[in-house]
Amino acid sequence: MQVVKVDIDTAAPLNPEASILIIYTGGTVGMVFDEKEKHLVPFNFSQIVDHVPELRQFNYLLTVLSIEPALDSSNVSVQDWLMLARLIGENYEKYDGFVVLHGTDTMAYSASALSYLLENLQKPVVFTGAQVPIGRIRTDARENLITALQIAATKKDGKSVVPEVCIYFRNLLLRGNRSKKVESSHFDAFKSGNYPPLAETGIDIEYSYEHILLHPQQPFKVHHTLNDKVAILKLFPGITPQVVQSILQAPGLQGLVLETFGSGNAPTKDWFLDLLREAVYRGILILNVSQCDEGRVDQGRYETSKHLLNMGVVGGADISTEAAISKLMYVLAQEGLSHPERVELLQQDLRGEITL
């Protein structure tokens, strides 16, 4: 894998409004139809202005870092998240904002992970992509890219308006670690069920300042490690002891996202409770997350969740699964913490991912 740098020719004079770094990882947004091969292939980003001529009108300095070969987002790994964090960290002082072009299928996972890795962020990191390739006539890539760049460049009183990792798609700007892909066939692909949009776009970009994270007072810091010894267990009626046991007793497992019913409810059968209790006893950090797109876990509200609370399962409040899995990775990667300290950190609102 290599990173190729491309400078984009825009209308920016010697004193541009902003300098933006675009990081292209792959995905539909950067695909064109190859007439010879008869399938979609990644296009050369040095030719981006041919597909989005509006870029020439920007009074921005635009630079592209293109990951080669391009990644299908289904293949994105923890190492790719760490690479993105490193690239942003290395270029943090050179640019006013960042736009990450990414496949939609795992965009919410990647945006969530970056939110934890980039601590005390004071500049926008805007993820965007497309449902239709940029080479197609009815593509949504152009509008998504253009607006993402505008958001990344926008300042108020000399400071970035959106100092956080977010996703722009269709006409909504969403907090990255509150987002979820909900559509595979329509342009409005992302939703944030438990948190309002940071901005909505129409004729103008209308920012909801009260929902945007405040500028941090501490210096920016990049974290370079995540612990991938984690798993997700989604409960379903009829789940067997063998299935649960195979996950909880996976070699090296240190953390588990437990996707429960409703407000955090789970079976009360003896075999299930025994397996969970034994996992907690072994020090596995278990985070209870609701399968619902909206609402929150309230352990102890019903008898079917009280037993989880009593045995030491951590309630995830209104966190999404996408944000929970990388939060577990982040918490487990923090060195020198005891199990109770990790539980305490897991329950904190670190980057706006939960409502306390």
Does 293 lie in the same domain as 209? Answer: no
Is the pLDDT at 40 greater than 80? The verdict is no
Tokens 């300290």, residue located: 341
Does 174 lie in the same domain as 36? Answer: yes
Boundary of a domain, candidates 155, 190, 222: 222
CA angle 191, 115, 167 (to 5 degrees): 35
Asked if 225 is an active-site residue, the reply is: no
Does 189 lie in the same domain as 47? Answer: yes
Structure tokens at 98: 């960042």
Q: Which residue has the higher pLDDT, 251 or 40?
A: 251
The reply to whether 195 falls in a domain is yes
The average confidence (pLDDT) of the chain is 93
Strand partners, 41: 32
**pLDDT value of residue 301:** 83
CATH of the domain at 330: 3.40.50.40
Confidence at 185, pLDDT banded by 50, 70, 90: confident
Is the pLDDT at 34 greater than 80? The verdict is no
The reply to whether 192 falls in a domain is yes
Closest CA to 289 of 258, 327, 330: 258
Burial of 53 (0-12, 13-18, 19+ CB in 10 A): exposed
User: Does 304 show up as a binding residue in the annotation?
Assistant: no
Does 315 lie in the same domain as 179? Answer: no
The reply to whether 351 falls in a domain is no
User: Does 105 show up as a binding residue in the annotation?
Assistant: yes
Distance of CA 272 to the CA centre of its chain: 31
Among candidate residues 28, 139, 147, 321, the one labeled active-site is 28
Does 137 lie in the same domain as 281? Answer: no
Does 260 lie in the same domain as 181? Answer: no
Amino acid 216 reads: P
Structure tokens at 52: 């989005």
Does 112 lie in the same domain as 11? Answer: yes
Is the pLDDT at 108 greater than 70? The verdict is yes
The strand pair at 205-207 and 221-222 is best described as unpaired
Tokens 């040095």, residue located: 46
Among candidate residues 10, 25, 63, 104, the one labeled active-site is 104
Confidence at 69, pLDDT banded by 50, 70, 90: confident
Distance of CA 230 to the CA centre of its chain: 17
The reply to whether 125 falls in a domain is yes
Structure tokens at 323: 């944000």
> How many structural domains comprise the chain?
2
Kindly provide the b/e burial profile for residues 86-105, where b requires at least 16 CB atoms within 10 angstroms of the residue's own CB.
ebbbeebeebbbbbbbbbbb
CA distance 151 to 162: 8
**pLDDT value of residue 38:** 61
Reduce the DSSP state of residue 114 to 3 states and report it.
helix
The strand pair at 125-128 and 60-68 is best described as unpaired
Do the beta carbons of residue 289 and residue 298 sit within 8 Å?
Answer: no
Do the beta carbons of residue 64 and residue 44 sit within 8 Å?
Answer: no
The reply to whether 355 falls in a domain is no
Structure tokens at 284: 């596995």
Q: Is the dihedral of CA 292, 298, 299, 301 positive or negative?
A: negative
User: Does 104 show up as a binding residue in the annotation?
Assistant: yes
Distance of CA 304 to the CA centre of its chain: 31
The H or E element that residue 339 is part of is helix 339-346
Is the pLDDT at 68 greater than 90? The verdict is no
Does 212 lie in the same domain as 235? Answer: no
Do the beta carbons of residue 145 and residue 29 sit within 8 Å?
Answer: yes
Does 75 lie in the same domain as 211? Answer: yes
Q: Which residue has the higher pLDDT, 70 or 98?
A: 98
> Which whole number is the average pLDDT over 264-284?
96
Q: Name, in order, each residue with C-beta under 8 angstroms of 3's C-beta and a sequence gap of 6 or more.
A: 65, 66, 67, 68, 87
Q: What is the pLDDT of residues 276-332, one digit of tens each?
A: 999 999 999 999 999 999 999 998 788 777 899 999 999 999 999 999 999 999 999
Backbone angles phi, psi at 109, to 5 degrees: -65, -45
Is the pLDDT at 140 greater than 80? The verdict is yes
Does 13 lie in the same domain as 122? Answer: yes
The H or E element that residue 259 is part of is strand 255-260
Burial of 229 (0-12, 13-18, 19+ CB in 10 A): middle
Task: Output the pTM of the full model.
Answer: 0.95
Boundary of a domain, candidates 198, 222, 246: 222
The reply to whether 134 falls in a domain is yes
Boundary of a domain, candidates 222, 254, 276: 222
Does 321 lie in the same domain as 243? Answer: yes
The reply to whether 353 falls in a domain is no
> 289 lies in which domain range?
230-346
Do the beta carbons of residue 284 and residue 255 sit within 8 Å?
Answer: yes
Asked if 28 is an active-site residue, the reply is: yes
CA distance 257 to 322: 10
The reply to whether 356 falls in a domain is no
Helices (H), 43-158: 48-51, 78-91, 107-117, 141-153
